[in-house]
Amino acid sequence: MTEELRHHRPRYSGILLHPTSLPGRYGIGDLGQEAYDFVDFLDRAGQSLWQVLPLGPTGFGDSPYQPYSAFAGQPLFISPDRLYERGLIRKRDLLFKEKAYALTRYREPNFNRYSVDYDQVREYKESILRSAYVGFLSDRHGLGQEFDAFCQSQAYWLDDYALFMALKAQHRGAPWTSWDKSCRNMDGQARKEALRSLGDRADYFRFEQFLFFRQWKALKKYANGKGISIIGDIPIFVSPDGADVWANKELFRLDRDYLPREVAGVPPDYFSETGQLWGNPLYQWNVHRKTGYSWWIARIRKQLELADILRIDHFRGFEAYWAVKRGSETAVGGRWIKGPGASFFRALKKEFGDHLPIIAEDLGVITPAVEKLRDRFGFPGMKILQFAFESGEESDYLPYLYDENCVCYTGTHDNDTALGWYLSTSEENRSRARRYMMCSGDDISWNFIRTAVSSTARYVVFPMQDVLGYGGDCRMNTPGTPSGNWRWRCTREALNPQTADGLRSLCRIYGRDKDRLLHILEESK
């Protein structure tokens, strides 16, 4: 690197917006035109990063951190318009069906523009996807060979997922631990036989995944073509009611009824005085180690098809994780158990090379051992700007104390919005924030963004809600609350040129404009 380039190192900027929050007329954001319009918004705003939450199929509670599979995609993201353009569905299939007595009435979709009603959306989208599958079976629409190739190449996870979902439907959505014994505990041969016997029922779930991955990869290619990288998200744990545990019981700490002996969580922290009781099964790390972490390597390889960078949620769990006895009411009485540590990341480096595109979510109870593990492999950690003003002491979250190798967030999906935080925190904290940022607080969201963008952090990311200056009613998630989360949606009008131009101008001032970044990266080759 030349001396000139040493003073012009890449500085990245991006927006956190989960696809559920995209605009659109079908009740939830999807991978249709609105997603491409958002990429165009990022491009005009000079942004080089688009961060999303986990992209898996959600179950009870609608949390993207409790998907039915660590490999599968969310069928609700499939764009009905793209299916219609491909000829897989008819115009009538896009109408909302209402049953009144023996009659079925059809009307134009009229979903809430500002919030996702998951039950309503599931019913509507499943009807469309079923119609698309019927259309595909009747005339493969030039997709037959592509579908067959997809099923063959993805069989290592897709077969188990499709069978799991078909059996779950057969058991009316009940958790797999309550299924018939023959379905709870199937060996490899029994699963193959069950797949053959279920036929189209399992193939339908394969077809959903084919559509999702086809649409997502097209969108990612479009974003990458504009110099925008996708930051994905991997939850460290998997859902107890999912295909991963059902098909790989030996990888998890289960009792003879296949229930977790202890479950995952975190001790009391910033978000909860009684800790967070997540309920996920814990890993048999000794078994993973004996396999060379093959399941994890396959998982990460799959996610790197969907994203350019991966944020690993609850990174500290690889050093030590909090185990709570099953049945506990809170996470207070848990215990720390050592995780796989450096051996896990050495296995990843051996498989993927020295440069692992990983962001370590290093929030919560962080010890020197966790920091040492993060720094040993050069992973950028996370700095949450809201946290900087919540203590009278000199906080590690104050920007002038940042190491360059970190990601500065105004807030995450678990935080209130910047405006919501400002209005709800103490006057002492508000005063501390105003003094540090030298502002009146009248435009606190953009004061937060400007402070993040001007910091020494190599990467900065801010939720779309902060770009728009929205309050706490637009918060994405409140940890510890079982319902009402993951619902916020952005409107088409909010993604306007004036907002994009303002953000680009700010990024230019502080050396984070995407065009400048691409020039630096090209010059450094």
- Provide CB contacts within 8 A for 487, sequence distance 6+: 20, 62, 115, 116, 117, 118
Rounded Cα distance between 523 and 525, Å, is: 6
Rounded Cα distance between 385 and 387, Å, is: 5
DSSP structural state of residue 58: B
Asked if 314 and 359 count as a contact pair (C-beta separation under 8 A), the reply is: no
Query: Vertex 299, ends 335 and 11: CA angle to 5°?
Result: 90
Task: Catalytic residue, from 159, 313, 362, 466: name it.
Answer: 313
Q: Could you tell me the two tokens for 210?
A: 């084919």
Rounded Cα distance between 70 and 399, Å, is: 34
Task: Catalytic residue, from 43, 414, 466, 513: name it.
Answer: 414
Asked if 319 and 369 count as a contact pair (C-beta separation under 8 A), the reply is: yes
To the query of whether residue 313 is one of the catalytic residues in this protein, the response is yes
Rounded Cα distance between 202 and 179, Å, is: 17
Rounded Cα distance between 278 and 260, Å, is: 12
Q: Indicate the SS3 state at residue 279.
A: strand
To the query of whether residue 414 is one of the catalytic residues in this protein, the response is yes
User: Quick one: which of 322, 470, 448, 477 has its CA closest to 387?
Assistant: 448
Q: Cβ of 137: how many Cβ atoms within 10 Å?
A: 12
Task: Catalytic residue, from 361, 362, 466, 513: name it.
Answer: 361
State the Cα torsion 290-267-414-254 to the nearest 10°: 40
Rounded Cα distance between 215 and 224, Å, is: 14
To the query of whether residue 501 is one of the catalytic residues in this protein, the response is no
- On the CB side of 396, CA atoms within 13 Å amount to 11
The set of catalytic residues is 313, 361, 414
